[in-house]
Amino acid sequence: MSRSVLIAPDSFGDSLTAVAAARAIARGWATARPDDRLILAPQSDGGPGFVDVLAGRLGTVRTATVSGPLEREVTAQWVLEDTGPAITAYLESAQACGLALLDGPPTVRTALDAHSRAVGQLIAEALAAGADRIVVGLGGSCCTDGGRGMIEALGGLAAARERMAGVELIAASDVEHPLLGPMGAAAVFGPQKGADPDTVAILEQRLTRWAADLDAAAGRPISVQPGAGAAGGLGAALLALGARRESGAAVIAAHTGLAGEIASADVVVTGEGRFDDQSLHGKVVSALAAAARARNLPVIVLAGQVTLDAAAARAAGVTAAYSLTEHAGSVRRAIDEAAEQLCALAAQVATGWT
């Protein structure tokens, strides 16, 4: 019996974009079940792949040369949509200061030196293009500067707030962490960006001083708000410029017509780099599982690594989760041959799916 299969993965870290992951899953699934109707709807929660997903759906793709997170210039893409009542720019912090833009693995030095200046340069590009609504996807950054680089690129706090007056600014992120403290940007995400304990303490001290400036400029304690710690504290800087926070997954879901696609599906296949406890808190997988549960649809997760136990996954609405690393036999092979291994895993899962 043929089925309608919604294939809606997030990106797999630096290994596969959401678009590439969706294509790989579709190839594998079609090999095993050629009669199934496949619906490709790659997703993002605001992190890497945010612009890539939107680029195939709306607007015009623009390219800008920006400073990058260290010294080397990088090329970043963004999307300009001018068909609606507002001229909207969609930007992605990972394109400007993402971990993938480092010349190698993150280190203590890169954790201290990486900055968000290029995000400010992209915002300036969007303003110059006439955008009166700017959506910034947050996630996957290599910096923990609290958005100071972004603010400096826009001329400083006072000038940046003046430039953003009258512009609808949206921080698209599903990260709920505040800027400071044990659940803040430095403590939680610093180690992922190369920071050892001493470096985390230095970053926290920097952010604490910067938070006072942001709170004073905003006239309210924005640094304690949920999402302020997103993308190394870029969330806090955007909030200080008058942004409101929206779910990155919800932004993408709206533009990909996800609700309608789920309504027509018999099974949902999603995925991400690591399926763990954080996946259940505002990430793409949790949003899809919640929507699918309302229609009593099975949800299959294909992930680079699976560390969430089966009981917790089922409680969240996930029917089954499969590890790409286990399928490939090693982390290195799962990364180096990501598309091929994901394709093969999807074929294997589809073969056994009834």
Residue 56: what residue type? G
- Residue whose pair of structure tokens reads 């990155």 in the numeric block: 248
Range with the poorest average pLDDT among 124-133, 151-160, 250-259, 297-306: 250-259
Residue 45: what residue type? D
Range with the poorest average pLDDT among 17-21, 55-59, 149-153, 296-300: 55-59
Close Cβ partners of 157 (under 8 Å, ≥ 6 residues apart): 151, 213, 214, 217, 240
Q: Looking at residue 354, what is its pLDDT?
A: 67
Q: How many helices (H) and strands (E) does the chain have?
A: 16, 11
Six-digit token string for 234: 């870029």
Region 177-181 average pLDDT: 97
Task: Using a pLDDT cut of 90, give the percent of the chain over it.
Answer: 73
Six-digit token string for 149: 């680089």
Evaluate if residue 242 carries a pLDDT over 90.
yes
Evaluate if residue 259 carries a pLDDT over 80.
yes
Task: Place 291 in a pLDDT band, splitting at 50, 70 and 90.
Answer: confident
Cα dihedral sign for 138, 143, 145, 147?
negative
The span from the CA of 21 to the CA of 14, in Å, is 11
pTM of the model: 0.89
Q: Are 321 and 270 in contact (CB under 8 A)?
A: no
Q: Looking at residue 352, what is its pLDDT?
A: 84
Q: Are 81 and 90 in contact (CB under 8 A)?
A: yes
Region 305-320 average pLDDT: 89
Q: Are 175 and 188 in contact (CB under 8 A)?
A: no
Task: Place 256 in a pLDDT band, splitting at 50, 70 and 90.
Answer: confident
Q: Are 298 and 319 in contact (CB under 8 A)?
A: yes
- C-alpha distances (whole Å) from 133 to each of 7, 11, 56, 111, 251 are 30, 25, 20, 31, 14
Six-digit token string for 318: 């996930």
Q: Looking at residue 203, what is its pLDDT?
A: 98
Could you report the per-residue pLDDT of 60-111, keeping only the tens digit for each?
899 999 999 998 999 999 999 988 788 999 999 999 999 999 989 999 999 9
Range with the poorest average pLDDT among 49-58, 144-153, 193-202, 273-282: 273-282
Q: Are 53 and 77 in contact (CB under 8 A)?
A: no
Q: Looking at residue 353, what is its pLDDT?
A: 78
Close Cβ partners of 151 (under 8 Å, ≥ 6 residues apart): 120, 157, 160, 237, 240, 241
Range with the poorest average pLDDT among 105-109, 190-194, 237-241, 270-274: 270-274
Which domains does the chain show, CATH number per domain?
4-43+257-352 (3.40.50.10350), 50-249 (3.90.1510.10)
Evaluate if residue 282 carries a pLDDT over 70.
no
Q: Looking at residue 84, what is its pLDDT?
A: 74
Region 295-318 average pLDDT: 90
Q: Are 3 and 354 in contact (CB under 8 A)?
A: no
**Mean pLDDT, all residues of the chain:** 93
The pair phi, psi for residue 206, each rounded to 5°, is -60, -45
Q: How is the chain split among helix, strand and coil, in percent rounded to 5?
A: 45, 20, 35
Query: CA end-to-end span of the chain, whole Å?
Result: 9
Higher local confidence (pLDDT), 173 or 287: 173
The span from the CA of 68 to the CA of 52, in Å, is 18
The span from the CA of 240 to the CA of 213, in Å, is 9
Q: Are 187 and 181 in contact (CB under 8 A)?
A: yes
